Structure 1
Amino acid sequence: MKSKLIFLFLFIVSTTSKLYPQFEVTFSNNYPPFNFTNEKQELVGFNVDILNAINDLYDTTDIQISSGNWAAINTALKNGKTNAIGGAHYPGSIDENYIYTRSTINTSHCFFYNTKYISNFSLEKFRTTKSPLVAMWKNDVLVHYVLSLNPSAKFIYIKNYEELIEAIDNDAITCLFGQRIGGLYFANKLKKDYIKTLDHRILERNMGFKVSKNSPELAQILNNGLEVILANGTYEKIYNKWFSNYEKQHFNWKDYIKYIFIITALFLALLIINWILRTKVRNKTKDLRRQIEVNADIMQELEIQKFKAEESDRMKSAFLANMSHEIRTPMNGILGFTELLKNADYSTEKRTKFIDIIQKSGNRMLNTINNIVDISKLDSGLEVVQIKQVAIETMVTELVDFFNQEATEKGLYLTLDAPVTGSSTPFYCDPYKLNSILTNLLKNALKFTLNGGIELKYRYSKNGVEFWIADTGIGIPIDKQATIFNEFVQADSSHSSGYEGSGLGLSISKGYVQLLSGKINLTSAPTKGTTFYVFIPNASKKEIVTKPKAPQITKPKALPHYHIIIAEDDSTTYYFLKEILKDVSKSIHYAKNGNEVVELAKKYPATDVILMDIKMPYLNGFEATKIIRTFNKDVYIIGHTAFAQESYKQKLLAVGCNSYISKPINREKLLNLLKNIK
């Protein structure tokens, strides 16, 4: 009888231990997406799934889950009415009253912004904004952090995440500051996909389970369970379910762009060209492999393609070596003679000679840069045709006059064979491109002619104009004639040739001829000279591009000095302009950005001339010019920029500039502009 009673007692204990859980873990019911009550009044969330996954590891259900508001569940834990709280952040110091398990996740705070109002938000922009308005919780630590970034910040305090996210639609609010994942959860829930966050995160804290000191076994179970689900992949699935959509980083490359010096820009251009050439080689190699896979019978064609790829690679290597030479050689002249002028006293004659060398070296480097820009625009298809009426006789005569001095210095003749009478039909073309074609061909002829001379001849035909440029130079070998118009090719590209140049002139000329729907070819014999033939058709008058007229400004003719504002964010350029304008100025005021030049124009309404840099902080030159024209129609505005394209000039005139000068700024050109102000 006694043994039966013992057996019955053990059976009851065993049964009740399975009916009633050994431990209880409580969660907050209002902390989405970590743990919260959904529309069906079910307790769900990341931390709840973590605990359920741990519970599933055991044969019996030992852990009961309950919920309540945050204050109530903390009181319950303190009073021993529950064994643990899930989703608790760890304190910054040792808490002897509770056991904290290993972390389930790391949380952080960040800035949120509305892309409808701010397209490019950053910490730097927040620091420089005057009195930004921030929506956030009233928390001393968070407020102190925001004020450390911008002491002029103002605050709107909110009470919950939904109210926080709704606040972003107020265009008076600069940004939000709050818990990253919670904020993104409500942004997604409220379908506000235009809300973005900065990747800069602060106040990172670990979250896990806060366990009563009286339940060390529960803490051990939770730690062991976390180890297991981390190892078997369950944790990753739960994490991806709740957070993967909110952890995607949104990069805005504009935040990382800095001002680039001219030498960096040169090497970047070389890298781009190198990439283009590598891509060409890679594509040709892929084509060869496909042909091998498709048909083994085309091996002969593969050999031809392989030769072309190797030739392209040799062209690339030759070009890189040539570009290095073409950049380093004039740079050596610039830096070397600048160092000499700085560290020693020389006679006026020697100083003048050194300065002349520096200028020539700078012009040579500028010519190389212009060639690289032109060929890049041709390769990328960005070059456009600007059709205007062209006076052929005037253009050709000016070119011959210009190059005649160089020919005379080399002991060569340069003759012009023009038709007896001009054409009665107006000729329409892109004057810049036609001038560039003839200039490149004449420069080429002068470069490679040592004795004799060059003849330029042109004739009108029924549909256009034909040009012949004949020289008595070194000629082009037959094996080079088929590729002489390719990029980076010279008739003699060896290191001992003694000829300067990038090898881009003929390639640019051919590209421009093709844009103008013309033809170009050559005849040549080594040591006997070369003749280039160019035909340019007469374009339709309908294709003429109407350029905007510059505002007609009437200035007093007898004004030898001007009140001038210089708008320029580069201090070196400003000091250069100030120096060359000192003899023609009554006063000079300096603006470092677009906002400052607008304010100076308002402050000094008697200003005669504004030198307007186009690329400036806050307001660029286009925007600043538009604003100035709203209150001052008379001031003469000269736009200056490193962009030298004709289309850029037209854009400047369209916004209200009176004239334009490109960098590097030539002193004589600038003074002539000022001299000719009406």
Structure 2
Amino acid sequence: MLKKILRLFPIFLLLSVVCSCSKSLVLNDLEKEFLKQNDSITVAIYPYYPPYQFLNEQNEADGVFMEYLEIIEEKINYKFKRKQYNNWPKLIQDAEKNKIDLILEIQKTENRKSYLKFYPPLFESQHVIITRKDVTFGNSIKNLHDKTIVLPKNYGITENLSYEYPDFTIVTVQGELECLERLNSGEYDAYIGPRAVANYFIRSKKLDNLKINPGIHLKYEPGIAITNSDTVLDGIISKALKSITREEKESIINNWLYQNVVPFYQTSKFWIIISLVSILAFFLGAFLNSYLKFKIKQKTEELIIAKDIAEESNRLKTNFINNIPQEIRTPMNGIIGLSEFLNDESLSQKERQKYTQMIIGNSKELLSIIDNILEISQLQTKRFTLRLVETNLQDVFQNLVSNHKIKAEEKNIKFYIENNLKNSQNLVFIDRPKLNKILNVILDNAVKYTNNGSITISYVVKNDFLHISMKDTGIGINEKSENKIQESLTSNSENTIGEYNGLGLGLTIAKKNADFIGGEITVLSEKNEGTTFTLKMPYNPVLKNKKDKTTNQDKTLSKSEKHIILIAEDGETNFLFLKTILTKMNDYDFTIYRAKNGKEAVTICQENANIDLVLMDIKMPIMDGYDATSYIKKMRPNLPVIAQTAYSIEEDVQKALDAGCDDFVSKPVDRKILKPILNKYFPIFKNRNKTINSK
């Protein structure tokens, strides 16, 4: 852009030089002959408009336009016959009757264009309003609508003002001086005319009662005019005026008005402004260009990232869809097939018990697959929130082993836990759900690919990092697959790790969760010897002062031996299942109430102050478990509410806790998980009769 501007500068300079240079006047033969044959071409002058035209001390016409006329005569080498008027209306009347050929100074109006040919004005200046010094009706021309304005008869300002403001009250008199004298005497309210003329008369005639106000939008633009009938003279005057240079015009104006009337595009100030604006425009354009390139690059990168994410999401879905039929059908086949075998009356008790355990195992495997589906949704939407809670690592590993014990016993696998920490070191702040997810995935694979062996879980603290290792004696991984898994675990790749897990999602989920808690997973394996997975994560110990502790038994000794539990559950099967679990707990004596929706649960808690605990389903009609819990907690803030739902996503768990739930258990409810939760809120009573009161 700057180069284009620089290229244009010589052109501008050339045009300026051309415009400012003197132009030679070349009259054709016809025009020269015309001047020769007409030696009495008349020019009308009106020397009563100082400083444009006036009579000097020698009583000769002088002023701006007289000097202008002399230059024209010099250009065409001709002397016009001067006809002096002391009455302007008479001059206009003679012009209408073609009694004069040329008028030296006149302003163009709509009426005058019918009988005069006008040339470009010599200059222009603003008209001003002249008032007495004692008036206070302002400087705007609109303030004159209810005033009497005095103007010279047949002047251009008179005609133009009447045309633009037809409602104004205008009085005309003979000439400019008479207008000002009558205004000074108080006969009229205002006068409008050229500043230079008014200033000359006010000073020379000592009209001290008048003042000149700021300029208005109307302008005085005087120039030469000829009668419309003479075309040859028109050509001669046109050539003469075009041959007068800008410098010659400036010289005339400066001699009489001390004002340099220069076209704005010919001033140095104009070119300085143009240059500054051009430079500013160049840098602004360069900045905008750079900014747009940056934004385009940024958006392009964002689109590429979004495209990669979309492709990765699509690849994960494709990988999942390709694997899910087999992975779901395998446990489902076991569940359906073994369930049919249970109908065989010839089965022994031992076989029936074995098949039942296998159905439970396949059901848990199917539940694990469903959890992975939900986890993939989490990974794709990146709906993560790190929540550090106080956790005992011993409990974590005991629960982990307990969850896999049945399946391990089926494959004759033994578990060993090596705790290399002191008791106080086992209390840590950790995001337990994410840690459980990681360890469950690794242990699932260890159990899946180990037969007749052992799995050793060990953990130790090194350099403020907790190292958790799981070593199995399974089939191991070949070197090629191990390298691929290790590369995926230690890189930022979004690739799914599918060589070591049937569904192709487990280790990917583990890696994502490890990344989120600031950890990393490594693998060491040898074919037919076994595999060791190690999780390295930040170690955040819980620092506690030694204080006397109050046990739960102390808090609950005063409670009655019989406890009332409200089950809020709309599903018949789920309610029957929960009721059966509770009635089978020999250590407790429960009275069970039922609500089929959240609204009923709120009502029952409001009417029955003896309810000791609520098992709250989250998804129910009329009012869900979140709202029901919130209402119940407002009425009875100390009443324990345990959420039980098919939702197992971390955000849903947290949402239940935020609503006021004290604990959470996932469907299908495992009695081994439910019982420890109940132990937190009830004392244990053995050999009691159970009372079932279903409502």
- Superposition TM-score tier, normalisation by shorter sequence: 0.3 to 0.5
Q: Which has the larger radius of gyration?
A: 2
Give the structure-2-normalised TM-score.
Answer: 0.44
